[in-house]
Structure 1
Amino acid sequence: MESKIIETRYYISEDGEVLDDILHGYVVHVDETGARISGDNHWMHVITNEMGAYFICTEDREDKSDGTITLLDLYTGVVVHNHFKTYQNLLMCKHAECNAHIDRYLKSGIDFERSEDCQQLLDLMHEMLHRKHTLIDEGKTFMETKEIRDYEKRYEDILKEGLEKYNEANPGISKKAETEYIKTFRRMLEYKEDHLRFMKDFTVSYTNNKAEKMCRVVKMHKNISHQFVTMRGGKAYASITSIIQTANIRKENALEKLEEIFSN
């Protein structure tokens, strides 16, 4: 039965392969979480959107032979991720950063460093998100260019002023020794387009919650059974989880879908 799952790991719908269906979408969400196999660290990855969820089990997080990077190599849409820098090697697509992580880093800067700059930036990010939702509620599909530019300027001004004040207060400090919120500021400035894509493109979400939700399925499995015995078992789990979660996303009966696959 295990080999049956592996052989059918790609096939979920009658009209094609689930990965093909997902990659026909303009936006995909990706994430990864650790998986123990026979005592060693491995990785479970997911590529997901409204068309389904595709899970992959690899030995290395940066697997370039049959991991996420290879599967998305020719993808030309938008990839939403959590700043795993290996994804930046994808050159055909556009990138969008998960700003839920940014919210947490900024809140940490507010709570532990008493940073007013973090508060201003957090307020601005939420203002932009609220404005986007308001426009969508009004039936709009985009934000006017002037309004985007005004937001971009405020965004850059807060970051640059915050970095300048920090550098003046900490002359000669090494980047490794910098406080975490300053590292976040540098990241947000360097990857500005990726962090603000949610505002410029209404089809792109503020967070990477879709992929993170799929990874929680794997984490729940780890809490119950702790690890897989073999790599083959890990791949079989990835295959069957792809079938079940895709059926859930498409509001199909997962049990019927499994029976359909096994009966073919």
Structure 2
Amino acid sequence: MNMREEDVRELQSAFRELKIAYSELQEKVKQQDQHIEELRGQLLKERLRNLELEKRLAKDSRNSSKPPSSDGYKRQQKRREKSQKKSGGQKGHSGHQLAQVETPDEVIEHRARDCQHCQHPLSQTVGVLKERRQVHELPPLRLQVREHQQIEQICPRCGGRSCGNFPPGVDAAAQYGPNVRGLAVYLSQFQLLPLERITELFADLHLGTVSEGSIVNWVREAAKNLSLTQQALERLVLQSRLAHVDETGGRIEGILHWFHVVSTRALTIYHWHRKRGHEAMNEMGLLPLYTGRLVHDRWKSYDQYRCEHSLCGAHLLRDCLFVAEEEKQPWAQEMYIVLLELSEATKQARACGQKTLDPAIRTRWLAAYFEVIGRGYRAWDEAHPPPEPTAARKRGRPKQDPGKNLLDAFLHRADQVLAFVDDLTVPFTNNLAERDLRMIKVQQKISGTFRSDAGATAFCTIRSYLSTMRKQGHSMLDALAAVFQGSPLPIAWEAGS
């Protein structure tokens, strides 16, 4: 009997030990399960992060708003098929060549001294013109020095002494004239040559020894003389019916700032600010007062202004390419084709002198536009079923992918996307503003940064004037010479521009 009680106690003790071991094993398994879940969560995050990085790497100037300079050596896919024509001028092309002038600066006659048949002297023989050939050449480059002398005279009647007055702008014993100063500022602010190279160029062309400090002072002088012109530009832009806007990053003293441009066919205005968004645009003062139509990309800061808006078709095409290629959404490729066809239809209508698009063509393509949007939403609903009611919902606004954002833009901003269809004076793209901003990026590639706020302001002021003068057909050197003569060239403008 005692043996049986002892065996029972041993069995009970062993059972308790097994139970404890089982509990410990369960705890370890639970911890391992938690660790596995944590690893799964981390792996999912890494996969999502890698997917996001892959999408970023897939973006280039062809399918996003990134500049071509950021593409590196990535091989670009061509959008069009290779032409069957050979490179160069085509058959029947008239070509271009240097033309002769009617009144040359110098004429040199070439006569035969003796007859080429009997060697009789021909010095007294009258000849007739057989052929003209002209050589276009630069004259010897040198500075022309014009001396101004102040003459003192004594009155024969009263004996008083009187002196003549130097003309305005002649202020020193020796100085450079407006053409020289204009050329230096042109090379610095328009052609974007570094100061050291400008001084070398002047020396090589025998145009004098110009210091870097002198060029900096001339840039400041030009910007100061153009302050009233800049104000006039702003007033004229506010009266324009159509304007293009864009912005790009640039560095001042090594710190990232933003350069903004407002452009029309005949006018250009540049500004810079520490920020990119609506705070910067409001402080610049143009867009809050503008009442015409703005052409721009989908940057949300432009949407706050109460003027009419038109979205850049080139940006939309690039967005469609990205969504079609990276998000694998067929509707984006279809929309790409619709936008291109609409652009071509409006281009042909303008070439024919039409003011509006043919109603039948307009109706057909607008129907295609909204059909593509419908297919896009149906595909989205199929790929993203509604969540279960019991599923936990994260706080905040759910993040949408680029495809859904683009689809919403095509639907909710259709009037802005299609503004170029209803008004043929509205361009399909925002290329005008992008072209005007391109030189900002070139300046940054050359110099890396602006050395001061004053230098950036002077650059914006001078470039606003020069870009406007170039659009209006003026010579840049003549325009800058006029600035140093104290009377910048007047700005031409039409109410419909």
Is the TM value for this pair above 0.5? yes
Q: TM-score, normalised by structure 2?
A: 0.49
Hey, what does 1:22 align to over in structure 2? 237
Larger helix proportion of the pair: 1
**1:247 aligns to what?**
469
Q: What is the CA distance between 1:144 and its match in structure 2?
A: 4.6
Within 5 A, what are the aligned runs for 1:202-213?
202-213=424-435
Amino acid at match of 1:73: P
2:350 is the counterpart of 1:169: no
Whether 1:230 aligns to 2:444 is no
1:7 matched to 2:219:
no
1:181 aligns with 2:395: no
Say if 2:485 is the partner of 1:263. Answer: yes
Structure with more relative contact order (C-alpha pairs < 8 Å, separation 6 or more): 1
CA shift, 1:90, in A, is: 1.2
Letter in 1 for 2:251: R
Structure number with greater Rg is 2
Match of 2:312? 98
Provide the TM-score with structure 1 as the length reference: 0.88
SS at match of 2:263: strand
* Structure 1 gap ranges (5+): none
Q: Is the 8 A contact 2:240 2:264 kept in 1?
A: yes
Question: Does residue 57 of the first structure (1) align with residue 57 of the second (2)?
Answer: no
Over 3 Å counting, the alpha-carbon distance change for 1:208 and 1:260 in structure 2 is same
- Structure-1 separation of matches of 2:225 and 2:269: 12
Is the CA contact 1:22–1:51 (under 8 Å) kept in the aligned structure 2? no
CA contact (8 A) 2:244 2:264 kept: yes
Q: Deviations over 1:117-155 (max 9, x none)?
A: 112111111111121122223321102556544433332
Q: Match for 1:200 among 400, 403, 422?
A: 422
Paired residues for 1:77-226 under 5 Å: 77-91=292-306, 93-144=307-358, 147-172=361-386, 175-178=398-401, 180-226=402-448
Q: For 1:176, give the aligned amino acid.
A: K
Q: Provide the residue aligned with 1:48 in structure 2.
A: 263
**1:158-205 CA deviation, whole Å, 9 max, x = no partner?**
113212211221224885252x23321112212111111011110111
Give 1:82 deviation, angstroms.
Answer: 1.2
- SS at the partner of 1:202? coil
Q: Deviation per CA, 1:196-223: give whole Å up to 9, x if none.
A: 1011110111100000011111000000
Which amino acid letter does the alignment assign opposite residue 4 of structure 1? E
Distance 1:94 1:177, change over 3 A: closer
Contact residue 242 and residue 292 of structure 2 kept, 8 A = yes
Identity rate, percent: 25
- Point out the structure with the larger strand share: 1
Name structure 2 gaps, 5 residues minimum: 1-216, 388-396, 487-497
**CA contact 1:30–1:79 (8 Å) conserved in 2:** yes
Looking at structure 2, the residues matched to 163 and 6 of structure 1 have their Cα atoms a distance apart, in angstroms, of: 53
Native 8 Å contact 2:258 2:274 kept in 1 = yes
Q: Judging changes above 3 Å, is the alpha-carbon distance between structure 1 residues 9 and 89 closer, same or farther for their aligned structure 2 residues? A: farther
Structure 2 equivalent of residue 66 of structure 1: 283
Letter of the 2:445 counterpart? N
Give the match for residue 195 of structure 2. Answer: none
